[in-house]
Structures are given as C-alpha cells and as structure tokens.
Structure 1
Amino acid sequence: MIAHDLESALNLTYAWIKAAHIIFVIFWISGMFMLPRFYVYHQEATPGSVEEKRWIERERRLRNIIITPSMLLVWAFGLTLAYITGAWHETWFQAKFTIVMLLSGYHGYMVGYGKKLAKGVRPASGKALRIMNEIPGIATALIVILVVVRPF
C-alpha cells in the first residue's frame, strides 16, 4: 500500500519533476561549458599572480555552487523520472543513461583538473582544453536527440 501511495504521489508530480530535471540540466551543462574556458584563462595567467588566484576562486565557486549541486539534482530527478516512466528497458534510455554516465565522469575529471591547476600543475594545453570544451555540447545534442526523436 505504501509503495502504491508513493507511486501515485510521484505520478501526480511528474510534470514538476520533469521541469526540475530540465532546469538543472541547463544549469549543469551551462557550467560545464564555462569550466574548461575558465581553465584556459587560468592557464594563461602568470603562476602565483593575483589573476591566477581570482581564477582559482571563480572555478571553485562555479564547481561548488552551480555545477556539482546541479549534477546531483539532475541525477536525483532523472532517476525519479526513469522510475515513474519505467524507461529502464527502453534502448533510447539506456543510450542516454550511458552518455549521462560518461558526462558525469567528464565532470569528475574536470573537477580534478581544476584542483591540479590550483596546485600549479598544468597537464593539458590550452588547445586541448578548448577541444574538451566541446564535450558537453556534443553530449547534450546526443541526449536531446535520444529523448526527443527516440531513434531506437
């Protein structure tokens, strides 16, 4: 009975959960577009300079206030939607889920990269970071196609 009541409540709030999911996807992806660009500018700053310290703080705030909380909420609302709709067995959803997992891994990589930058380690070139900046856009395009078109 409790499980049925929970499912009924989730179904009633489906549109709100979906809206929240989309809102936090926008926040997360927007931040993921910004972060590699911040890293490019950070790497161009003189090590130990006031400008570099400002970039370290901007990056920390972007990660801790916008990107990571948004990603966690995307996961929470997305998993709730998958539960409500029973999408787990749909091929399009499995492909989307895989891309979101990879994008979450990229997110973790970029957070780690920022921590290295803050310590003065600069493992990637500005060109490599500019290329990495394209990953969220490609992932977003693929996800939107999978969700809207459902090609399989």
Structure 2
Amino acid sequence: MYLWIKALHIVAVVTWFAALFYLPRLYVYHAMARDKGEQQAIDHFLVMERKLYRGIMTPSMIAVIGLGIWLLYLMPQWLGMGWMHAKLLLVLLLVVYHHVCLVYLKQFAAGRCQRSHGFFRAFNELPVIALLGVVLLAVLKPF
C-alpha cells in the first residue's frame, strides 16, 4: 500500500508544480496584454487562469496534502526527523504561494492588478527554489 500512495503522491506533486509554474507565466502574458489594452487576450487569459487554478492547481494541492498525510500516517517516524520538518515548512510556504496566486487571480478578474509582467517573471521563480529544496530533502534526508 505504501508504494501506491507514494506513487500517487509523486504524480500529484508533479501536477501541482506544473500548475504552480504555469499560472504565474499566464500572469506575465496577462499583464503584457493589459498594458497593450488587448481586451480579447485579457478575456482569454481570465478563462485560462480560472480553469487552471480551480480545475488543476487546487485539486492537485489537495491531493498532495492528503496523500502526504497518509504517508505520514504510514511512516510516523518521519515526523521526528529534521529533514521532514524542513520539507513540511517548504510545503506550507507553497500553500501560501498557491493562495497568493488566488489573490492575483481575483485582482486580474476585477481589473485591479497593477503588478508588472516583470514582477510576475520573478514571482514565477519562487516555486523552482521550493521544488529544489523539497526534492533534495526528500531524497538526501540530510538531517
């Protein structure tokens, strides 16, 4: 059972990260279209962003957390290990990032987002750093 849960957890992580990488990239293009006044493109991005966030990103996050809790239930000794504490902190930060993406989604939908495409290019790099940390911690278990 453990290996099945672990495999599904990894699939959910991959799906969540794909969305975490793609949604801010859509924000880059949305901000560029906004600056050019391209309403048809803006409307298209609004639909894409909403569907990605609600249809893929959030269900993936829920699956990651649920399957992760199940893995911890099966392997409770991990909760006493420092690498797991660090990994869980990174996951918590990713959940915060996920919800910040929702804030920007709502701002774009209301026509109130004033962040530049340059900001979103930098914002898009944050999950990369978290992914590196999560993978290194999970594989190396350094402490």
- Given residue 87 of structure 2, which amino acid in structure 1 is its aligned partner? K
Gaps of 5+ in 1: 1-12
Which residue of structure 2 lines up, in the alignment, with residue 57 of structure 1? 47
Q: Secondary structure at the match of 1:123?
A: coil
- The structure 2 residue matched to 1:72, chosen from 55, 62, 71, is 62
1:44 CA drift (Å): 1.3
Distance in 2 separating the partners of 1:74 and 1:135: 18
- Given residue 111 of structure 2, which amino acid in structure 1 is its aligned partner? G
Q: Secondary structure at the match of 2:142?
A: coil
Contact 2:31-2:115 within 8 A present in 1 as well? no
Distance in 2 separating the partners of 1:136 and 1:24: 15
TM-score if structure 2 supplies the norm length? Answer: 0.94
- Given residue 101 of structure 2, which amino acid in structure 1 is its aligned partner? M
- The structure 1 residue matched to 2:7, chosen from 19, 38, 49, is 19
TM-score if structure 1 supplies the norm length? Answer: 0.89
Q: Secondary structure at the match of 2:13?
A: helix
The number of residues matched between the two structures is 140
Which residue of structure 1 lines up, in the alignment, with residue 142 of structure 2? 151
The two structures, once aligned, show a CA RMSD in angstroms of 1.1
- Given residue 14 of structure 2, which amino acid in structure 1 is its aligned partner? I
Q: State the 4+ residue runs in structure 1 displaced beyond 2 angstroms.
A: none
Distance in 1 separating the partners of 2:87 and 2:22: 23
- Given residue 39 of structure 1, which amino acid in structure 2 is its aligned partner? Y
1:123 CA drift (Å): 3.1
Alpha-carbon displacement from aligned partner over 1:4-63 (angstroms, at most 9, x marks no partner): xxxxxxxxx111100000000000000100011100111111457111111000000100
1:80 CA drift (Å): 0.7
Query: Bigger radius of gyration, 1 or 2?
Result: 1
